[in-house]
Amino acid sequence: MIRAKKLKSKPELLFGPLARVVAVLLLALLVATGVPVKAQSRRVEELVNQLIFTPTTPRPSNWTITVLPQVRWDKQIKTLNLQTATAFTLMNETNNATFLNPDYVFNSTELQLLHTLAHEAGHLICRCTDERLANDIARALEGRQ
């Protein structure tokens, strides 16, 4: 039989360490979903500046690139029914917008991310959804023609 006096100390043993674990996990979640997006955006901007735009492969006008927070990325992929883990681009007559998965941006190598950005620019340059043509343009933008 456990006496009431001893039971009072048991919750403290459980909730003390548990509360610390929860606090650490919440902090990690906040860091993972907020702060790095800005740093990742700077990384993306630096890589876009490495692409070789020419008169035949010009930088798309009105092109915005956004590293979405993970929750928004997941929602957009589901809403638009897209089969991508890296990026997608939406285009119309006045706006060209590329959206990047923050997990991909954070975990990809410089060359992988550079190619993804070049590929998405390729779609905007050809104004098409042709994957092969976007990759051909991407190779030119990367200087690998």
Bridge partners of 97?
A: 64, 90
Residues 89 and 113 in one domain: yes
Do 86 and 135 sit in the same domain of this protein?
yes
Is the same domain home to 16 and 79? no
Of the pLDDT bands very low, low, confident and very high (cuts 50, 70, 90), residue 39 is confident
Q: Please give the pLDDT value at position 93.
A: 87
Domain harbouring 70, CATH code: 3.30.2010
Residue range(s) defining the domain that contains residue 88:
37-141
Residues 41 and 71 in one domain: yes
| Separation CA 96–CA 84 (nearest Å) | 18
Mean pLDDT on 90-118: 95
**Shared domain check, 65 and 129:** yes
Q: Quick one: 87 and 101 in the same domain?
A: yes
CB of 58 closer than 8 Å to CB of 89: no
Would you call 66 exposed, middle or buried from its count of C-beta atoms within 10 A (0-12, 13-18, 19+)? middle
What's the whole-model pTM score? 0.73
First-to-last C-alpha distance (Å) of the chain: 79
**How many structural domains compose the chain?**
2
